[in-house]
Structure 1
Amino acid sequence: MSKRIASGAAMLAGALAATGLAFAPTASAAVSPTSATITASCGVFGGGTATLTATQSATDPTASTMTLTSSAITTPLTLGKNSIASTLTMVNNTGPNRVFSGSVNPAMAAGSSITVGPLPGTVAVGDSLTFDGGSLKMVILGITITCTTATDTHQTPGPFVFS
């Protein structure tokens, strides 16, 4: 009899646990896609293909970061870690533009591929962000470099949509 009660109690506990999992809250914050390709024009500093990577916090859906990497855009000098002041402005198809900024970059040797970020920023659920019409301003050793969308190019596969 005690084996039956123990088995019944175990099955009941398992059923309650499964029910609890079914109703457990899920992390709803997600950005899609998580990466996109752009073609940037940085004036006399060159330009080319770059990858933007977006993240969105699962615990705070308004907290997001953007990272830009490019082997086509290189650093002319050796740069120390966190020495590039960057401001990335993304065009929001559903509201005000969003700005991601900070001095976050790895140390880079002269001629290295550029990487800035992850740059923190604030988003809203439903934001649809694209680099098309946006810009990346980098201040390197007091020199401001501004990159914009190259003519006749678009962010691929499309805008970052935050949910």
Structure 2
Amino acid sequence: MRASRNSSLGIGAVLAGALAAAGLVFAPSAAAVTPGTATASYDCGTWGGGGATLTATQSGTAATITLTSAVKTPVAVGKDQISAKLTLAKAGGGTRVFSGKKNPALAANTAVTMGPLSGTVAAGDSLNSYFAGTALTMTIFGVTVNCDAVTSQSPGPFVFS
């Protein structure tokens, strides 16, 4: 009887392992945004303008965007000293806002990098920074800088799954 019991336990362990492996195969995949990186041009008035690179990530309904712009800071800025709000137009109407106070330390006269800026998305959201309104607002040392997107994102809007 002992041999039979050990055989049953061995078979049970094998079946449990197989079921666990099958569960991994059929588990839902992680959410993804496409494209992961896009470019667009911004006009920040007297602060300058030019091309920017936006990189998006997604985990469920939470999403982040990191933006590296052609706008240069005239003075050195310490880590996490820029408050930023990036507003993206949602296809079909409405907007989604990504915000935060995240930036690396920036030397004077270097391109501004912000993020990751956090926001909430829904499956199927198609978001573009190009719309009639201020797409990017940065506050640096109490000074507000407003930037309008002057081109659509290329290769296209961010589509969240």
TM-score range, shorter chain: 0.7 to 0.9
Q: Equivalent of 1:98, from 96, 99, 115?
A: 96
For residues 96-149 of structure 1, give each alpha carbon's deviation from its aligned partner in whole angstroms, at most 9, with x where no partner exists: 200011111111010111101101111111100001115100011111111111
Measured in 1, the distance between the counterparts of 2:148 and 2:45 equals 9
2:63 maps to 1:64: yes
- Segments of 4+ in structure 1 off by > 2 A? 8-23
Amino acid at match of 1:139: T
Seen in structure 2, the aligned counterparts of structure 1 residues 158 and 15 have a Cα distance that, compared at 3 Å, is same
Q: Equivalent of 2:77, from 71, 76, 79?
A: 79
Q: Equivalent of 1:47, from 46, 49, 52?
A: 49
Amino acid at match of 1:52: L
Residue 24 of structure 2 is matched in structure 1 by 21
TM-aligned CA deviation for residue 62 of structure 1:
1.2
- SS of the residue corresponding to residue 129 of structure 2 reads strand
TM-aligned CA deviation for residue 19 of structure 1:
3.0
Measured in 1, the distance between the counterparts of 2:129 and 2:24 equals 39
Measured in 2, the distance between the counterparts of 1:11 and 1:36 equals 47
- SS of the residue corresponding to residue 22 of structure 1 reads helix
Could you tell me which runs of 5 or more consecutive residues in structure 2 were left unpaired when the two chains were aligned: none
Residue 146 of structure 2 is matched in structure 1 by 146
- SS of the residue corresponding to residue 36 of structure 1 reads strand
- Once superposed, what is the RMSD of the aligned Cα atoms? 2.4
For residues 60-109 of structure 1, give each alpha carbon's deviation from its aligned partner in whole angstroms, at most 9, with x where no partner exists: x1111111002x21110000111111110001114420001111111101
Could you tell me which runs of 5 or more consecutive residues in structure 1 were left unpaired when the two chains were aligned: none
TM-aligned CA deviation for residue 43 of structure 1:
0.8
Seen in structure 2, the aligned counterparts of structure 1 residues 16 and 103 have a Cα distance that, compared at 3 Å, is closer
Identical aligned pairs, as a percentage? 55
Amino acid at match of 2:52: A
- SS of the residue corresponding to residue 21 of structure 1 reads helix
Residue 40 of structure 2 is matched in structure 1 by 38
Count of aligned positions: 156
